[in-house]
Amino acid sequence: MLGLGRLGGRLRSNPGWSGSLWTQRNAWRFERLVLCQSLKTVTPLRQDYFRDLEKQLAAMRKKAVDALPGSNWTPLEINPNLPPERADIVIVGGGVVGWSIAYWLKKKERVRGALKVVVVEKDLTYSRASTVLSIGGIRQQFSLPENIHLSLASADFMRNINEHLDVLNEEPVDLQFNQSGYLFLASEDTAHIMEENYRTQRDAGAKVSLLSPTQVKEHFPWMNTEGVALASQGLENEGWFDPWSLLNAFRRKSISMGVVSCHGEVTDFKYTMNVVTTIDDDKLQLRRIQSVKVQMPNSLEYQPVECSIVVNAAGAFSANLVEKLGVGAGTKDAVAGIAVPVEPRKRYVYVVHCPEGPGLDAPLVIDSSGVYFRREGLGGHYITGASPPEAEEPDTSNLEVDHRFFEEKVWPHLANRVPAFERLKVSSAWAGFYDYNTFDQNAIIGLHPLINNMYFATGFSGHGLQHSPAVGRAVAELILDGNFKTLDLSGLGFKRILTQEPMLERNVV
């Protein structure tokens, strides 16, 4: 502009030049200059356009190649959360028992990656799961040798848990295992049963000790021993731990070993049937599962999963799975009409605060009334509860807490046994389900007689969490080895239900 100004000044000073001629010629030159500058700015835009066009053409060529026969291309959008179409073993139920079985199956596989294991869990929040809603206790004080051995093996696993469930580059597992023991209190009416159980426990290798009322008072001066005829105290491998930590440790380790976790619900089965004749000339319809139908959460979408074996670890709702196969719906006097005797039973857990309550030496106490309590951390907090009488079982359609049950059935016994608890205050509460075996309150482990590729691990009636490490190993042995190797749990099979020969566990809390 300065140059044009100077040029214009000289032209205007020369009377021989025409001003209009200068204006026309220089206006043309100026427009040409502006047009050239504009054309220069178009060049990178054209380059970007052709570059994008080349990318689009390349993507189209790739899609065309993918659509050729033999490719896995599909015009439909694939849900990344769908389970695989095929698996060797599908475990229904992603609680601690299900994940323990998954871990041991992968642990025992002879060639890495040889087994394709899928665990299906319908609620990954575990808001209604028995595992995380339990009080986390472990004890050897049972009446049956099978349960005692399961506890001993599981306690050993937990003490050395990072040798089993440690994952590379992950934080070590901390179960917060508090080995303060259990203390069972017996009245005059039940003292003889405690003595019988004590002998069974000692023979099985459990470290337990019988205490007189005087000895109980010496050990625990905060306790009122009125009405106590005998007590049994666990000296080793008993106490409580964090249930969520154990569940998450099994799950994390299993996934690192190649187990597939699936969020969904098994709603149906595809199966074949064969009719066989027994020696009594009875006709039995044997079923073999070919695939499971996994329904995606909050969706109409589902995925059939072909499999060789199904493990029923669905806890309180495991009987529902068997009903989908048409078993247990017939007459009760026929084998096909015998249902899986497992149902949900609701239990309340109350957290109370009592600064003057028992201190760090307090074990998990089981009163002769059935009321229990234990410490929960520090600061005078305790967990407590009780099982209701059979005739007063609460509604299982929800997990609402009955606070009147605490006031009428729990608190009076707490205050009687520990006078300081007269001044406690309830700070919170929750409810959870037992997978309750109505037949004999014991686990059902093994094959179903009418479904020749469905294995059971259910009906623990409140002690599934503490037995999960050993149960997982036992089920994996049964599937891969054909029989139990480390612990003989054949007595916990389905046969006892068919023959109506219960194995009653007398120490159910």
Residue 34 has pLDDT above 50, yes or no: no
- Mean pLDDT for the chain? 88
Cα–Cα distance list, 347 to 161, 162, 317, 350 (Å): 29, 32, 15, 10
Helices (H), 109-263: 145-159, 161-165, 191-203, 213-219, 243-256
Q: Any idea which fold 80-177+238-341+438-508 has?
A: FAD/NAD(P)-binding domain (3.50.50)
pTM value is 0.84
Q: Supply the pLDDT for residue 365.
A: 98
The number of angstroms, rounded, from the C-alpha of 293 to the middle of its chain's C-alpha atoms is: 20
Phi, psi of 2 (to 5 degrees): -65, -40
Q: Do 64 and 238 form a contact (C-beta atoms < 8 A)?
A: no
Q: Supply the pLDDT for residue 19.
A: 43
**Nearest to residue 178, comparing CAs of 245, 276, 85, 99?**
245
Q: Supply the pLDDT for residue 11.
A: 37
**Nearest to residue 314, comparing CAs of 433, 397, 435?**
435
Q: Supply the pLDDT for residue 329.
A: 72
Cα Rg of the chain, angstroms? 36
* Percentage with pLDDT > 70 across the chain: 86
Cα–Cα distance list, 195 to 184, 222, 233 (Å): 12, 25, 12
The Cα–Cα gap between 168 and 303 comes to: 32
The Cα–Cα gap between 182 and 362 comes to: 9
Domain ranges in the chain are 80-177+238-341+438-508
Give the pLDDT confidence of 239-276 residue by residue, as tens digits.
Answer: 999 999 999 999 999 999 999 999 999 999 999 999 88
The Cα–Cα gap between 30 and 4 comes to: 10
> How many residues appear in the chain?
509
Cα–Cα distance list, 44 to 34, 36, 39, 53 (Å): 18, 15, 10, 14
Residues 6 or more apart from 477 whose CB is under 8 A from it? 104, 108, 483, 484, 485, 486
Cβ count within 10 A of residue 51: 9
Q: Do 338 and 154 form a contact (C-beta atoms < 8 A)?
A: no
C-alpha dihedral sign at 486, 258, 122, 349:
positive
Q: Supply the pLDDT for residue 322.
A: 94
The Cα–Cα gap between 396 and 399 comes to: 7
Q: Do 396 and 344 form a contact (C-beta atoms < 8 A)?
A: yes
N-term to C-term CA, the chain: 98
Q: Supply the pLDDT for residue 80.
A: 74
Q: Do 256 and 397 form a contact (C-beta atoms < 8 A)?
A: no
Residue 15 has pLDDT above 60, yes or no: no
Q: Do 364 and 338 form a contact (C-beta atoms < 8 A)?
A: no
Residue 212 has pLDDT above 70, yes or no: yes
Q: Supply the pLDDT for residue 51.
A: 74
- Please tell me the least confidently modeled range out of 163-167, 281-285, 350-354, 403-407: 281-285
Summarize the confidence of residues 188-214 as an average pLDDT.
97
Phi, psi of 316 (to 5 degrees): -60, -20
Are β-strands 265-277 and 239-240 bridged in parallel, bridged antiparallel, or unpaired? unpaired
Q: Supply the pLDDT for residue 24.
A: 47
Q: Do 88 and 292 form a contact (C-beta atoms < 8 A)?
A: no
Helices (H), 184-330: 191-203, 213-219, 243-256, 318-323
